Amino acid sequence: MKSYKPPIQSKLPHVKTTIFTTVGRLALAHNALNLSQGFPNFDPDPNLLKLVSKAMQNGHNQYAPMPGLPQLREVIAHKIKNLHQAEYDPEEEITITVGATQAIFSAITAFVRPGDEVIVIKPAYDCYEPAIEVNGGIPVFVQLSSMDFKVDWEALRRAINTKTKMVIINTPHNPSGHILTKTDMLKLQEILRDTSIILISDEVYEHIVFDGKAHESASRFEDLASRCFVCASFGKTFHVTGWKMGYCAAPAALMHEFRKTHQFNVFSVDHPVQWAMAEYLENEAHYMELNTFYQKKRDLFLDGLQKSRFKFTPSEGTYFQLLDYSNISDESDVVLAKRLTIENKLASIPMSVFNVDQRDDKLLRFCFAKTEDTLEKATAILNTI
Ligand code: PMP
Ligand code: GLN
């Protein structure tokens, strides 16, 4: 292939291949146990697979309606009402997306103009900043302390000015495993009340919350909900990250603008999977039992580490656990994560990649959405370090 000659002015000059790809490749090359990227290493419910197959056999193989299958939007509206007492009109206020990633990208693209500021709480999942920047927006960071990962709401209040278009929150939080409490959400509601700021609430781990704690969805708080895109992921909830399907819910006026972007971005989303999800979601046990399912895995992982030299605070939600290695090594987290992958055959994600200026807090992130056998092997390795 002849090379492209004119100079390229990248719209995302700082973006590199994501850490998930880099570490994933390293894990593969060195035959390491992979607790890095967040995905389950077990199969989804066979009944869900059967439902997709049934939808295909039944001929649902052409384009789905642009905002998503009506039956699926209806069960989602019902689920949100049951869990959070919030009313969303399935016709106007819920859209099915290509994972939460596309929901977040389309919401940002629909509203952020060049020069607009978007507040991002760091450490943050990696898809927010490029989506802001490619639209000419400016990410403004509020960094959490690695001591407790509590949001300093006064710092967030100070970050707001007349250019602030949006705030993005994520609860349960990737990578810290921290959750926002009712008090946090009320504080945020009070801060945003007299502004026209739009909120994105990334709630992809909504059904993975431990120790009897509650997931405080933004949809529970009337004034937050009135300005918010609540984003969710079936990939996370039903162990099918590869299907890339999710949804977002927002008041009609916001969703109307969202759909203008959505219809020219993807138009519509995988049709047979939507039929399957609509039927599968009817049984609420399919998502209400997830907390217990993942808490067992978290506990197995942490019980296995009681005698290790790592320090940790149990994750409150998500399927990630941070381990503090400051007692063990002075190496940077990136160097240690690579060394553990190559020498000890165990891959994790260095926390610094999620922080402002790659601040290194000597923390590694491990995904415990794995079989018991994998978790036992992983703890055996960690105990030797
Ligand atoms: N937000 C967070 C916090 C995540 O961890 C992920 C990872 N999957 C996503 C969004 C993206 O979700 P999806 O795979 O449904 O696009
Ligand atoms: N959400 C997953 C994680 O944090 C990764 C998804 C991706 O690779 N982009 O590990």
Q: Render pLDDT for 234-251 as a digit per residue (tens, 0 to 9).
A: 999 999 999 999 999 999
In a domain, 52, yes or no: no
Distance from the alpha carbon of residue 161 to the mean position of ligand 2, in angstroms: 31
Tell me, yes or no, whether 263 and 114 share the same domain: yes
Tell me, yes or no, whether 377 and 364 share the same domain: yes
d(CA 239, CA 234): 8
Tell me, yes or no, whether 293 and 305 share the same domain: yes
| Ligand 1 pocket residue status of 202, Cβ below 6 Å | yes
| Ligand 1 pocket residue status of 349, Cβ below 6 Å | no
Q: What total number of domains does the chain contain? A: 2
pLDDT at 2: 85
In a domain, 292, yes or no: yes
pLDDT at 145: 86
Distance from the alpha carbon of residue 118 to the mean position of ligand 2, in angstroms: 21
pLDDT at 291: 97
Task: Specify the pTM.
Answer: 0.97
Give the closest residue (by CA) to ligand 2 atom 4: 38
| Ligand 1 pocket residue status of 172, Cβ below 6 Å | no
Distance from the alpha carbon of residue 329 to the mean position of ligand 1, in angstroms: 31
Ligand nearest to the CA of 177: 1
**Residue 20 pLDDT exceeds 90:** no
Distance from the alpha carbon of residue 36 to the mean position of ligand 2, in angstroms: 9
Tell me, yes or no, whether 197 and 346 share the same domain: no
Alpha helices in 266-366 (DSSP H): 271-280, 285-288, 290-303, 333-343
Tell me the residue type at 50.
K
Tell me, yes or no, whether 33 and 92 share the same domain: no
Select from 251, 284, 317 the last residue of a domain: 284
Distance from the alpha carbon of residue 244 to the mean position of ligand 1, in angstroms: 9
Select from 264, 284, 304 the last residue of a domain: 284
**Residue 5 pLDDT exceeds 90:** no
pLDDT at 3: 84
How many other C-beta atoms are found inside a 10 Å radius of the C-beta of residue 123?
A: 27
d(CA 30, CA 195): 51
Counting ligand 1 atoms within 8 A of each CB, the residue from 98, 179, 204, 265 with the most, and so the one to mutate, is 204
Q: Render pLDDT for 295-327 as a digit per residue (tens, 0 to 9).
A: 999 999 999 999 999 999 999 999 999 999 999
What would the two tokens of residue 378 be? 């992983």
Select from 219, 251, 284 the last residue of a domain: 284
Domain enclosing residue 134, as ranges: 63-284
What would the two tokens of residue 358 be? 């790659």
Which CATH number belongs to the domain containing residue 102 in this structure?
3.40.640.10
Tell me, yes or no, whether 196 and 218 share the same domain: yes
